[in-house]
């Protein structure tokens, strides 16, 4: 019998348990799922960083921890975790992120804001460029970034991607490392932030990197709040160097009501809605990883603890 402990937030249990049990049944695994198992009997933990489990030492026969979030910054540095950690990369999360990114890239590409808020009834006959003439840079070409890049390529955009190491993605010009970042930013009309949150990516968007962007560039951040130096971004917005920032994630959430982002005329705040883990597809990914591990096969999306993602 494989013992699976559900150690995510209590309110997630009613959402996830039927999908997890269905996926277990379909997999043919002889497994039980519970929110209450003796630590010494647990083989796998289904986890979210908001859960109460912090010390993994009592879980003597633990084989893996399966995170329900794409981000693992809340657990990756836990010294008591000695077994493999798999991050979530379910198809539903990717689809939701594509919807958000494509919608806001198209919004800024077309210049929809000028038509939605036009109190002076200005009639300006200025068509936007074609998508092929709009350069979009996606910083972070992981599972979510790759899905968004592929969708934008399909719409005809000139898409550039940046990541720690070079990626080969059809239709996307790849850049990597510090040199690649300096090369990609001056090309970018629209920047989409989808890198993981690590010590290396903290304040990736700062006064120096903002200065590399062409005047009038737009920033879209559905990734992680700490990727942006907020003071530097506000300064670049005030000067007009950055035309607009659409922000879905923040260092403090919910975003405090007195935060200057709320009142800035060139900032759009969305309340962390770009995408989320979908219980049905996430359950399938969790159980597939358990099946793989039990069969001696490599699990999907295992975190590189040294890299932080």
Which one is catalytic: 108, 224, 244, 285?
Answer: 224
* Residue that the structure tokens 């942006």 belong to: 228
Which one is catalytic: 9, 41, 241, 272?
Answer: 272
Catalytic residue flag (residue 264): no
Gyration radius from the chain CA atoms:
21
Catalytic residue flag (residue 272): yes
Q: Which residues are catalytic?
A: 224, 272
């Amino acid at each position: 019998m494989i013992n699976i402990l559900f150690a995510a937030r209590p309110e997630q249990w009613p959402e996830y348990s039927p999908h997890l049990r269905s996926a277990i049944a379909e997999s043919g695994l002889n497994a039980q799922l519970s929110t209450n198992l003796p630590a010494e009997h647990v083989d796998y933990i289904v986890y979210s960083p908001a859960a109460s489990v912090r010390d993994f030492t009592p879980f003597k026969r633990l084989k893996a921890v399966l995170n329900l979030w794409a981000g693992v910054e809340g657990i990756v540095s836990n010294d008591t975790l000695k077994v493999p950690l798999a991050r979530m990369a379910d198809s539903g999360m990717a689809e939701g992120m594509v919807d958000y990114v494509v919608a806001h890239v198209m919004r800024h590409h077309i210049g929809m804001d000028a038509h939605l808020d036009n109190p002076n009834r200005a009639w300006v006959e200025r068509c936007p460029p074609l998508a092929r003439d709009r350069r979009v840079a996606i910083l972070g070409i992981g599972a979510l970034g790759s899905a968004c890049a592929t969708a934008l390529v399909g719409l005809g955009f000139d898409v550039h991607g940046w990541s720690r190491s070079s990626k080969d993605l059809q239709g996307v010009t790849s850049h990597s490392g510090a040199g690649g970042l300096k090369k990609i930013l001056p090309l970018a009309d629209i920047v989409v932030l989808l890198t993981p949150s690590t010590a290396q990516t903290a304040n990736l968007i700062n006064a120096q990197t903002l200065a590399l962007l062409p005047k009038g560039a737009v920033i879209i951040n559905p990734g992680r709040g700490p990727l942006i130096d907020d003071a530097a971004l506000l300064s670049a917005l005030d000067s007009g160097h950055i035309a607009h920032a659409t922000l879905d994630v923040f260092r403090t959430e919910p975003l405090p009501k007195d935060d200057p982002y709320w009142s800035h005329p060139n900032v759009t705040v969305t309340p962390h809605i770009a995408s989320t883990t979908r219980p049905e597809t996430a359950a399938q990914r969790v159980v597939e990883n358990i099946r793989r591990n039990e069969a001696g096969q490599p699990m999907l999306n295992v975190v590189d603890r040294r890299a932080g993602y």
